[in-house]
Amino acid sequence: MNNSLTVFNAVLPVFCIIAAGFAIRRVGWLTEEADQSLLRLTINVLMPCLILDSVLGNASLTRLGNVLFTPTMGFVSVGIGLAVGLMGRSLAGLPAGPRSRTFALTVGVYNYGYMSIPLAALLFKGGDTMGVLFVFNVGVEAAIWTLGLLVLSGTSLKQSVRKLASPPVISMALALVLNVAGGKDWLPAFVQQTAHMLGQCTIPLGLVLVGATIADQLPEFHAEKGWRVMGAACALRLFGVAALFLLLAKYLPCPVELKQVLVLQSAMPAAVFPIIMARHYGGDPATALRVVIGTTAASFVTIPLVLKLGFQFVGV
């Protein structure tokens, strides 16, 4: 996994598809009105199919310890990011209030799906790492809707937990049960093939929507007002949090697949979803946008570097 060209070739298509989504929105081929329908399709149909396709037959997810420990680490990873964001928000020069809370949230929530999933598919072909990544991401989702909402808006824990009953989380639970029950052997082949074909649509469509979202928010982006915010976000997200993740991967007694996931997630920039959360829960979308654009642009350089050095450091 130390081949720089392999890592770079895995990263490049992700950015190209995001750029395609940006361009498609700009020329008017993908309208804002269509976004909600495509997002519902992705979350409610395509993502569950991709999860089922990745989990069924995954030997590493038949062991109870992995099934319990892996999402716990996903939850902890977001908690670490949020803590770093809260402690480091003074570096961004933001006053206390919605802007600083949004900064902490966006630094803390990394692009755990739409960038890490295609990279995992390219870097770990034929292994169990993809399924472990999905289980890890269940913990990430739980942390976003509990710790993340608490940081952003002070929403009660009870209200946050209700949002966990989403199709991806439900499909993950079902897929894990089927996997333990040997569903790969007795589930009809046409069902598995259908899930595989639909699942393959998930990542390209999701990345296109990411690019379109960036295009929508760009008019609110004023670089001259946000260089300090972007610089602080890059330092905290791409270096500070990355270093903590790599230390966990190095010294945590866990399966090699989870170590690979931690290295992969250590290199991820800020997620786009906090922009949407900021809109709905009293945050500052412009601050979230600056963090996302700053870390995403810088990650084009840092992802190959962090992955190469990270895999060497951790030894996976």
pLDDT tens track, the chain, 316 positions: 545 666 677 677 878 888 999 999 999 999 888 888 887 888 788 888 888 887 787 776 666 666 778 889 999 999 999 999 999 888 888 887 888 899 999 999 998 877 788 788 878 876 678 878 888 987 887 788 778 878 887 555 565 566 556 677 788 778 888 888 888 888 888 998 999 899 888 878 878 887 887 788 777 666 666 788 899 999 999 999 999 999 999 999 888 889 999 999 999 999 877 877 777 677 888 888 889 888 988 988 898 889 989 999 998 8
Long-range contacts (CB closer than 8 Å, 24 or more residues apart) made by 21-28: 21/207, 21/208, 21/209, 21/210, 21/211, 21/212, 21/214, 21/215, 22/211, 22/212, 22/214, 22/215, 23/211, 24/208, 24/211, 24/212, 25/211, 25/212, 25/215, 25/216, 26/215
Cβ neighbours of 224 (radius 10 Å):
5
What is the pLDDT, as a whole number, of residue 109?
93
pLDDT for residue 156: 56
For domain 4-314, the CATH class is mainly alpha
Give this prediction's pTM.
0.76
pLDDT, position 260: 92
Q: Residue 117: its pLDDT value, please?
A: 80
pLDDT of residue 158: 61
Q: What is the pLDDT of residue 13?
A: 80
Q: What pLDDT is attached to residue 248?
A: 94
What pLDDT does 193 receive?
92
